[in-house]
Structure 1
Amino acid sequence: MDFFDEMFNKTPKEKFIEIIQNGNLGALEKVF
């Protein structure tokens, strides 16, 4: 899946910052 490829190509910090910037708490829950 492109979504997971994109996620794993980023560091946890980058993912976290991006999620916060997007205000996507639903995605945040799925990451953990």
Structure 2
Amino acid sequence: MDERARSFLVWMLARRDARRGQLAVDWPELAS
């Protein structure tokens, strides 16, 4: 995995974690 892809994944996970409270309601629908 190249460095750019890795840093993007880290950014995406950090962003998701920051918004977890907001996504808690929507996530079950998105995952289905």
TM-score range, shorter chain: 0.3 to 0.5
Instruction: Give the number of the structure whose alpha-carbon radius of gyration is greater.
Output: 2
- TM-score, structure 1 length as denominator? 0.43
Larger RCO, structure (CA 8 Å, separation 6 or more): 1
